[in-house]
Structure formats: C-alpha cells, structure tokens
C-alpha cells in the first residue's frame, strides 16, 4: 500500500509459507507498523485515526440498530422508541449511533481545518485531498439519509426541504426538477416509500465510504504525511516508525476524544438533536422552524442567503437555483484549493498574512453556522449574505492573492532543524 | 480467409459490432433500475379524489389529501374575492396562473385561478413553492400573512387570497390542480 518498501520478515515457517502466497501481513507491517512518520506531528494529526474509529463505530452500532429498526412509515417512529426502551442496551447503542454522527463531523471538520492550516492540500497531495472532499460529501449524504430514519417531524420536513432543492432545476428546464424530486420520493410527496429506499441507501453508503477511505489512506501512504512545518522528509532520522510512536499518540488523542463522546452518550444524548423530532412525522403540519443538524448549518445559511436579492442585487426567479448552486459550490470549491493557493510555502506557521485569512475563514464558518440556526429574516439575511461572500473570498481571493504578495517567514532547512535547532540537526543527520 | 489483412478487418468489425451490442445491452439494462424508483402503480392509482363542498361555509377552509399532498379548498368571502380581483398583474412576482387546467402562459388573474360561476372556491395545492412546507392560514386563528391568504412560516413567503405569491423567497404561485365540478357542491380533483 505504499512506495515505502516493507522491512517485514516472517519468522515462523508457516508465516513464510503464507507470505509467499498472500503478503497481507507484509502489507500491514509496511503500511501501519514500520511506516515512516514525521517525528514532529502534533495532536491535530491524531484525527485521522480518530475518524477511522468513528467510521467503524458507526458501522457496528448501525448494523446492530438495523436488527431492531423497521423502515416503514407506520412502524419506524415506534421502533426507535422500542429500541430505546425495550431492546437490551438499545438505549446505549442508539445514543452511540446518534451522538456518533455528530462526533464524526466534529472530528472531520477538525481534520479538514488542520489540512487547510498546514497546507496539506498542496502538491503532491492533491489527489489525497480530493478524495477527502469526496469522503466529506458521502458522509454528508449518509448523515442526511440517516436522519430521515427516526421518522419524526424534523426528519420528515428536513427531507422535504432538502429533496425539494432539486426542484430548483425547473428554472433551467420546466419539469426537470420536479421529475427528479418525484423520482427520489417514489411518489408525489415524501412517504413511506421514500423512507424505505433511504434506509437501503443509508446502509449502503458507509461501505462506499470505507472503499474511498481505503483509497485516501493509500494515497496518503504514497505521498507521505504532511507535518506542522510543511517540509518534506529529507533524512531517515526525521521520521519515526508509525508503531509504537504515532500509534501511541493516536491512542492518547482517541481517549481524550472518547471522553467527550461518552459524556454526550451518557449524559446528554439529545443535546445535539431537536425536540421536534420526538413528534411523529405529520405531512399536514410543518414545524414552525425547520433546522438541520448542527453540522449542516453553515451550508444551510449559504442556501438561504439567496432570497429575492443578494446584497442589493435583484435575483428574481433565479434566487432558489442560485442558493442551491452556492450551497453545493461551498463544498466543491474545497477540491480546487490545491490550485487556488499560489503560495509554495505549505504551513501557515510561516505565512504571516495567510494565517489571518485562515482564522477569519474559521470565524466565517462558525458565524454561518450561527446564522443557519436563526430564522431567515431581517438582519440575519444580510449577515448571512456578507459571510457567504467572505466564505468564497477565502478560496477565490485570499488563496490566490496572498501567495503572490506575501513574504513568508524564513523556513527551517529541515524538520530536524525545526525540532532540534540547527546544531543538533546537523549532529542528528550524521547518525 | 483470403489474406491476413482481410482477416484483420473482418475481425475488427466483429469486435466493434460485438462491443457496441454489449454496450447498448448494458445501458438498456440500467433503465429498469432507474425507472423502479419513479411513482409506482399504487401511487398513480390514487391520482384523483372527489370532495363534497356542501359543509364548507363562506369564510371557512378545508384541507384534503390528493396524491399524498395537502390541497387547500377555501370558500372565499366577497371581500376576499374583490381583493384578489383588483390586484394589478404588475404587482405579482409570478405572473403565470399556474392552473393545471390552463396553458402555461396564462396570466395570473384571479379569474384564471378559479372556475367561472364558482368564483368563491379557491382550490390550490397547499405546498409552499419555495421548499415544500405547508403554509399557515387554513385554521381559524392562523396567521394569514400580509395579503390575507396564507403565510409560510419556514422562510416567510406571503400568499394572497388567490394563492399567489406576493412577497418572500417562493418563486411561484400555489399550484391550482386540475379539477372539475361534478355537481354544484362536489368537485373531482385530478
């Protein structure tokens, strides 16, 4: 799985026999034991391992829940309550799965911001980065489909609002959008038919996700890990074997993360959800305020920023279509970051101006999240429009322009120099 | 088998033809798997519904289900009809009637959204044309928005007494489904 050759040597006769026929132990040893890891990785680099844990945890808890859940419009809501009240440890496994979705997104957003800060998207890691963007998209689709399954009011109306986004295509070709929406629903409105197929797809996508994650890890092991200095590994002494060094650091990070995870699971399992979802879905009553889960809020704010006019520019009947395009573009633009950023310096640590742009972008995302939870009226709309412009400005203005006008700080000559200082680095290089 | 060149040409032709057939066959097999997701026969079978209007008094409204969607039926007062009729077309964000029984380009006058002789009855699909919420305004105490018709609480769209969008993010007037009066007090939708 890597360009790095494995130093694996089977010791037993049976080990040798098997290695000549299927070198899987060699593959694992080369990829996850002896694999050279930069010696200066900080705790932000533990989120890759944490995300692996999240994916496996969601799949295991999900498979168990599917043994007790009934994907029909008459039984779904009650079967969730059945799981919470009657099934042995059902309350715990359901909480792990529901909270686990939020934890997965906390970890993936930290992982993405880490990549943006340390320039992990730049050459030669473009394909690795793009695979990550695809993983984010598939994760979002999986989470959205899964949120339908409890069949509460917020499930039902969330699906109604989000699937209706496609009807915006009617502006381009009359009937195209409506046709797609009815195809997704399998009827003329969201119904049990829709729930059933969403369950099927919700079960499928995590395995698709696993496949893309394998490609992501493969790509990582071809180009090697980035690190806080953004410099490439130059000498063997700048790396340590992944096991036990990186793995033990990963485990410390994972345990800290699990403390937070367990806190939510056992003490406030519903804190990140909506009370309205404990009312069964009713096609005749719209909740007064439809809000997606927290991890979709920034994108929801961008969607709703496009009303009759955008910062004074009248949009007319294109408002809805533009909102939908902007929302998807907000995710898709991440994939272009490797080419939008013109600076050759990777890490923001050595980029005094870019560092400010990065933190302004982080604030923009939080602000959009806040606005996404507010009703789309009055001053909230104006702020959502301003922050939408700032969101795209980070990619389309800050990334290309700063790389051209900024004078980066002096880079250390090597990772060893950054970690040990110039003299010790020279000494370490000799060994 | 006259020559090697001839042989190669025949074989090329067979390979291309064979692959082309295989590709068309594989592509046509996709269709059933796409089509199975469209509304099925049982959903289409519920395509029309009859509604008795006799119990609905002037000023009252009822909501019935048609194809899984709510349909608003309002017995409009004289004032509401007058208000809807006197709106100039220039004031409407969506100038099309959106009446399933009329051609697409019909102007959105009130008379084009009701049946002549039954001007008091407004029948419209009760789904906001923005993102599919159910607008308020059917219940007696509901907020009816600034134009006396319906108000969508999700993203703030206001509809008038003819079900036409007047303000807010919704792009289109409420759809008028195809329907006919089978008697003076009974309609058939669909």
Claim to verify: residue A236 and residue A180 sit in the same structural domain:
yes
Q: Could you give the CA distance from residue A192 to residue A72 in angstroms, rounded to a whole number?
A: 5
Chains A & B: contacts with CB separation below 8 Å: 84
What's residue A172's pLDDT? 87
Beta-strand runs (E) in A161-258: 239-241
**CATH number assigned to the domain comprising residue A205:** 1.20.810.10
Claim to verify: residue A3 and residue A92 sit in the same structural domain:
no
What average pLDDT does the segment A198-202 reach? 97
**Residue whose token pair is 């909506």:** A274
Chain mean position to CA A322: 24
Claim to verify: residue A198 and residue A266 sit in the same structural domain:
yes
Claim to verify: residue A152 and residue A176 sit in the same structural domain:
yes
Which carries the bigger pLDDT value, residue A18 or residue A7? A18
Instruction: State residue A123 phi and psi, 5-degree precision.
Output: -50, 140
What's residue A431's pLDDT? 59
- Its sign, for the CA torsion A124, A130, A132, A133, is positive
Say if strands B69-75 and B121-125 run parallel, antiparallel, or are unpaired: antiparallel
Q: Which of A70-79, A218-227, A417-426, B158-167 is predicted with the least confidence, judged by mean pLDDT?
A: A417-426
What's residue B133's pLDDT? 85
Burial class for B102, CB neighbours closer than 10 Å (0-12, 13-18, 19+): middle
CA distance A196 to chain B (A): 11
**Residue whose token pair is 């489909």:** A145
Q: Could you give the CA distance from residue A392 to residue A361 in angstroms, rounded to a whole number?
A: 9
Q: Could you give the CA distance from residue B103 to residue B113 in angstroms, rounded to a whole number?
A: 12
* B121, pLDDT greater than 80: yes
Q: Could you give the CA distance from residue B38 to residue A184 in angstroms, rounded to a whole number?
A: 7
What average pLDDT does the segment A117-145 reach? 97
What average pLDDT does the segment A54-58 reach? 98
Nearest to B68 among A189, A290, A375 (CB): A189
Claim to verify: residue A160 and residue A13 sit in the same structural domain:
no
pLDDT tens, position by position, B29-47: 999 999 999 988 888 877 7
Claim to verify: residue A43 and residue A27 sit in the same structural domain:
no
Q: Could you give the CA distance from residue B99 to residue B113 in angstroms, rounded to a whole number?
A: 6
Q: Under a CB-based contact definition with an 8 Å cutoff, are residues A393 and A340 in contact?
A: no
* A239, pLDDT greater than 70: yes
Q: Could you give the CA distance from residue A235 to residue A130 in angstroms, rounded to a whole number?
A: 28
DSSP B87: -
**Inter-chain contact B169–A317, Cβ cutoff 8 Å?**
no
Q: Could you give the CA distance from residue A198 to residue A176 in angstroms, rounded to a whole number?
A: 22
Q: Could you give the CA distance from residue B111 to residue B85 in angstroms, rounded to a whole number?
A: 7
Largest pairwise CA distance in chain B:
93
- Per residue, what are the HEC states of A306-373? CCCEECCEECHHHHHHHHHHHHHHHHHHHHHHHHHCCCCCCCHHHCHHHHHHHHHHHHHHHHHHHHHC
**Inter-chain contact A188–B153, Cβ cutoff 8 Å?**
no
Claim to verify: residue A9 and residue A133 sit in the same structural domain:
no
The most confident of the ranges A131-145, A162-176, A316-330, B105-119 is A131-145
pLDDT tens, position by position, A58-69: 999 999 999 999
What's residue B103's pLDDT? 81
Burial class for A38, CB neighbours closer than 10 Å (0-12, 13-18, 19+): buried
Claim to verify: residue A1 and residue A42 sit in the same structural domain:
no
* B49, pLDDT greater than 90: no
Q: Return the percentage of chain A with pLDDT > 70, whole number.
A: 98
- Compute CA distances B50 → A191, A226, B59, B71, B102, whole Å: 22, 67, 21, 12, 20
Q: Under a CB-based contact definition with an 8 Å cutoff, are residues B142 and A286 in contact?
A: no
What's residue A3's pLDDT? 47
* A422, pLDDT greater than 90: no
Q: Could you give the CA distance from residue A151 to residue A37 in angstroms, rounded to a whole number?
A: 45
pLDDT tens, position by position, B66-111: 888 899 999 999 998 998 888 888 888 888 888 888 887 788 888 8
Claim to verify: residue A325 and residue A374 sit in the same structural domain:
yes
For B138, the token pair is: 């059917």
What's residue B99's pLDDT? 87
pLDDT tens, position by position, A250-285: 999 999 999 999 999 999 999 999 999 999 998 888
Number of domains chain A is built from: 2
Q: Could you give the CA distance from residue A364 to residue A370 in angstroms, rounded to a whole number?
A: 10
Q: Under a CB-based contact definition with an 8 Å cutoff, are residues A225 and A42 in contact?
A: no
Q: Which of A171-175, A224-228, A333-337, B147-151 is predicted with the least confidence, judged by mean pLDDT?
A: A171-175
Claim to verify: residue A20 and residue A169 sit in the same structural domain:
no
Q: Return the percentage of chain B with pLDDT > 90, whole number.
A: 37
ipTM associated with this complex: 0.76
* A203, pLDDT greater than 80: yes
Claim to verify: residue A40 and residue A30 sit in the same structural domain:
no
Claim to verify: residue A146 and residue A27 sit in the same structural domain:
no
Mutation site, A158, A164, A282, interface B, largest B CB count within 10 A: A164
What's residue A293's pLDDT? 94
Q: Under a CB-based contact definition with an 8 Å cutoff, are residues A240 and A428 in contact?
A: no
Within 8 A of A326 by CB-CB distance, chain B residues are: none
What average pLDDT does the segment A357-383 reach? 93
Within 8 A of A319 by CB-CB distance, chain B residues are: 169, 171
Q: Could you give the CA distance from residue A196 to residue A192 in angstroms, rounded to a whole number?
A: 6
Alpha helix ranges (H) inside A224-283 = 247-267
- Compute CA distances A201 → A54, A83, A207, A294, whole Å: 19, 21, 10, 22
- Active site includes B155? yes
Contact residues of A toward B, CB < 8 A: 157, 160-161, 163-165, 167, 171, 174, 182-189, 191, 193, 197, 283-286, 288-290, 304, 307-308, 317, 319-320, 375-377
Query: Could you tell me the pTM of the whole model?
Result: 0.87
* A421, pLDDT greater than 90: no
**Inter-chain contact A188–B69, Cβ cutoff 8 Å?**
yes
Q: Under a CB-based contact definition with an 8 Å cutoff, are residues A82 and A69 in contact?
A: no
Q: Could you give the CA distance from residue A298 to residue A370 in angstroms, rounded to a whole number?
A: 8
The most confident of the ranges A22-31, A135-144, A307-316 is A135-144
Q: Could you give the CA distance from residue A143 to residue A137 in angstroms, rounded to a whole number?
A: 10
**Inter-chain contact A304–B39, Cβ cutoff 8 Å?**
no
pLDDT band at A2 (very low <50, low <70, confident <90, very high): very low
What average pLDDT does the segment A120-140 reach? 97
Range of the domain at A17: 1-34
pLDDT band at A1 (very low <50, low <70, confident <90, very high): very low
Q: Which of helix, strand or coil describes residue B167? A: strand
* A240, pLDDT greater than 60: yes
What's residue B46's pLDDT? 76
For A2, the token pair is: 């890597």
Taking alpha carbons only, the member of A357, A348, A366, A368 closest to residue A393 is A357
Phi-psi region of B98 (alpha: psi -120 to 50; beta: other; left: phi over 0): left
């Amino acid at each position: 799985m890597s360009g790095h050759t494995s130093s694996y040597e089977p010791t037993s006769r049976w080990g040798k026999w098997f290695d000549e026929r299927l070198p899987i132990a060699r593959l694992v040893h080369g990829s996850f034991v002896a694999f050279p890891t930069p010696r200066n990785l900080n705790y932000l680099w533990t989120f890759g391992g944490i995300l692996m844990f999240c994916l496996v945890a969601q799949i295991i808890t999900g498979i168990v829940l599917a043994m007790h859940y009934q994907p029909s419009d008459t039984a779904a809501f009650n079967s969730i309550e059945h799981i919470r009240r009657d099934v042995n440890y059902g309350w715990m496994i359901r909480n792990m799965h529901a909270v686990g979705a939020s934890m997965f997104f906390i970890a993936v957003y930290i992982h993405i911001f880490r990549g943006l800060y340390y320039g992990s998207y730049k050459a030669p890691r473009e394909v690795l980065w793009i695979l990550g963007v695809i993983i984010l998209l598939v994760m979002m689709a999986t989470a959205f489909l899964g949120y339908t399954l409890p069949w509460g009011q917020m499930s039902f109306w969330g699906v109604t609002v989000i699937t209706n986004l496609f009807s915006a295509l009617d502006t381009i070709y009359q009937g195209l959008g409506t046709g797609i929406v009815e195809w997704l629903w399998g009827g003329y409105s969201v119904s049990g038919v829709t729930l059933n197929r969403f369950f099927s797809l919700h079960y499928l996508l995590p395995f698709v996700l696993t496949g893309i994650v394998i490609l992501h890890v493969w790509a990582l092991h071809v180009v090697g890990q980035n690190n806080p200095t953004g410099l490439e590994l130059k000498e063997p002494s700048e790396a340590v074997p992944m096991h036990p060094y990186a793995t033990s650091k990963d485990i410390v990070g994972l345990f800290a993360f699990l403390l937070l995870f367990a806190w939510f699971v056992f003490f406030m399992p519903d804190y990140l959800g909506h009370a309205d979802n404990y009312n069964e879905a009713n096609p005749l009553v719209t909740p007064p305020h439809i809000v997606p889960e927290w991890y979709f809020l920034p994108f929801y704010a961008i969607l709703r920023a496009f009303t009759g006019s955008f910062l004074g520019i009248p949009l007319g009947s294109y408002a809805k279509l533009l909102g939908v395009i902007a929302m998807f573009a907000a995710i898709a633009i991440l994939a272009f970051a490797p080419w939008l950023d013109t600076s050759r310096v990777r890490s923001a640590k050595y980029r005094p101006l870019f560092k400010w742009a990065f933190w302004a972008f982080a604030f923009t995302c939080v602000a959009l999240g806040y606005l996404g939870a507010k009703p789309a009226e009055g001053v909230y709309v104006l702020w959502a429009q301003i922050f939408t412009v700032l969101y795209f400005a980070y990619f389309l203005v800050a990334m290309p322009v700063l790389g051209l006008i900024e004078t980066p700080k002096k880079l250390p000559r090597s990772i060893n120099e950054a970690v040990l200082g110039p003299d010790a680095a020279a000494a370490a290089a000799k060994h | 088998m006259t020559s090697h060149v001839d042989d190669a040409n025949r074989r090329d032709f067979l390979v291309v033809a064979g692959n082309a057939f295989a590709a068309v066959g594989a592509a046509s097999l996709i269709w059933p798997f796409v089509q199975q997701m469209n509304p099925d026969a049982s959903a289409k079978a519920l395509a029309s519904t009859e509604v008795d209007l006799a119990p609905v008094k002037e000023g009252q409204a009822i909501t019935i289900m048609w194809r899984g969607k709510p349909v608003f039926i309002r017995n409009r007062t004289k004032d509401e009809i007058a208000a809807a009729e006197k709106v100039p077309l220039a004031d409407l964000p969506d100038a099309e009637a959106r009446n399933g029984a009329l051609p697409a380009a019909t102007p959105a006058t009130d008379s084009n959204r009701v049946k002549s002789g039954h001007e008091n009855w407004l029948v419209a699909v009760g789904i906001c044309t923005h993102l599919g919420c159910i607008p308020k305004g059917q219940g007696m105490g509901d907020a009816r928005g600034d134009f006396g018709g319906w108000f969508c609480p999700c993203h703030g769209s206001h509809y008038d007494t003819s079900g036409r969008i007047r303000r807010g993010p919704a792009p289109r007037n409420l759809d008028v489904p195809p329907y006919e009066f089978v008697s003076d007090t009974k309609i058939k939708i669909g």
